[in-house]
A and B are shown apart, each in its own frame.
Chain A
Amino acid sequence: KNEVEQSPQNLTAQEGEFITINCSYSVGISALHWLQQHPGGGIVSLFMLSSGKKKHGRLIATINIQEKHSSLHITASHPRDSAVYICAVFAQKLVFGQGTRLTINP
């Protein structure tokens, strides 16, 4: 079993829909990262969390340390949000989930 599990693996939605991507992990961590990767490979760090909730524009990330679970929400989704979203946890080193491929159709 992977140390970091994301769901769903693939998600297709219509523009404007509310999106949720989930991440569960099985190890003790000091921080959790949400990353965005567009076609072509470039990776952008969206959030780094150790507790609670963070918001940046239409993106919201939450973490529940006791339940070892984090969620990434996108409100009012847009086709430009189409990308792979990757959850990564830091436990001496970064361990990555397998990614969620999000496609937003106009």
Chain B
Amino acid sequence: KAGVTQTPRYLIKTRGQQVTLSCSPISGHRSVSWYQQTPGQGLQFLFEYFSETQRNKGNFPGRFSGRQFSNSRSEMNVSTLELGDSALYLCASSREAGGYEQYFGPGTRLTVT
């Protein structure tokens, strides 16, 4: 069974631009969660989607948004990029919503200049 895939793997953007990251979960998994990892703050929860509905959202500004499609694939969008948005963005999928075992993708490393 294929693992969680994320595209692109690396991205360089300029302040003020927007970016869209994509995540394809393991087949049969209906929940997708997104996380941001930085050296200073560590891993932080962004949001969780289940059956195309956002179940929970972390403490991030409204510039961070996401969605989930009917095939469970998910995208997250960051608008008006700031230097502090430079991070590794990880998505994880699980069979069901809530605290079930998470399978992580390789991440997208975003650099904002």
Query: Are A96's CB and B99's CB within 8 A?
Result: no
Contact of A95 among B37, B45, B102 (CB under 8 A): B45
Query: Are B101's CB and A48's CB within 8 A?
Result: yes
Task: Check A45/B102 contact, CB under 8 A, given A92-B56, A93-B56, A94-B33.
Answer: yes
Task: Check A93/B100 contact, CB under 8 A, given A41-B88, A41-B107.
Answer: no
Nearest chain A CB to B64's CB is how many angstroms away? 14
A27 within 8 Å of B (CB atoms): no
Q: Which residues 57-113 of B have a CB within 8 angstroms of A?
A: 58, 88, 90, 92, 98-104, 106-107, 109
Complex Cα spacing A94 to B45, Å: 6
Nearest chain B CB to A61's CB is how many angstroms away? 13
Report, as a range, how many residues of chain A touch the other chain: 20 to 34
Q: Which residues 21-71 of B have a CB within 8 angstroms of A?
A: 33, 35, 37, 42-45, 48, 56, 58
Query: Are A96's CB and B104's CB within 8 A?
Result: no
Query: Are A44's CB and B58's CB within 8 A?
Result: no
Complex Cα spacing A45 to B94, Å: 11
User: What is B's interface to A at a CB cutoff of 8 Å?
Assistant: 33, 35, 37, 42-45, 48, 56, 58, 88, 90, 92, 98-104, 106-107, 109
Other A-B contacts than A41-B90, A95-B45, 12 sampled, CB-CB below 8 A, are A29-B99, A35-B104, A41-B37, A41-B107, A43-B92, A48-B100, A48-B101, A92-B56, A94-B35, A94-B45, A96-B42, A97-B42
